[in-house]
Amino acid sequence: MSSLLVALQFGLMALMAVRLDAGAIGPGFVALLGAGVAVGAWALAANRPGNFNIRPDPHPEGRLVTGGPYAWVRHPMYLAVLLAMAAFALGGDAWQWAAWVALAAVLAAKARREERGLAILHPGYEAYRRRTRAIVPFVF
């Protein structure tokens, strides 16, 4: 199931990228893409090498990261992807937005799967989960 979720994620991202209308690249596109890159870089910086996994299966020897962007959301890399891909949907048509919504659903499914594993591996995960949002600060 993990590999299927990753394949769906990258398939939807690729679909959105190839459908990009070059005329849609403007200040909004740059701002959203830049925000996504910044959040993603911040999340990677907060992690130690080897702690990050593209599949929603936590590393058995991984550590629980709760600082940096992880103090605001449990899945900042998913937030980064959603921000960056919103840039592609911004100037797109209904299909672009449908793909973005589908991507959000795939990332939510990945988050749920990942959290089940994290709760087993890390005794403090449930307390962390209760005090932070999943993907969008102050919302979800």
pTM here is 0.93
92: confidence class by pLDDT, cuts 50, 70, 90: confident
22: confidence class by pLDDT, cuts 50, 70, 90: confident
Residues, the chain = 140
Cα 108 from chain centre: 9
Q: How far apart are CA 74 and CA 103, in angstroms?
A: 18
| pLDDT at res. 24 | 80
Average pLDDT over residues 120-136: 94
The count of other CB atoms within 10 Å of the CB of residue 102 is 16
Q: How far apart are CA 38 and CA 27, in angstroms?
A: 16
Cα 15 from chain centre: 17
Select from 107, 100, 38, 41 the least CA-distant residue to 75: 107
Q: How far apart are CA 100 and CA 77, in angstroms?
A: 15
Q: Domain segments of the chain: what residues?
A: 2-131
The CA–CA distances, whole Å, from 14 to 7, 83, 97 equal 10, 15, 14
Average pLDDT of the chain to the nearest whole number:
93
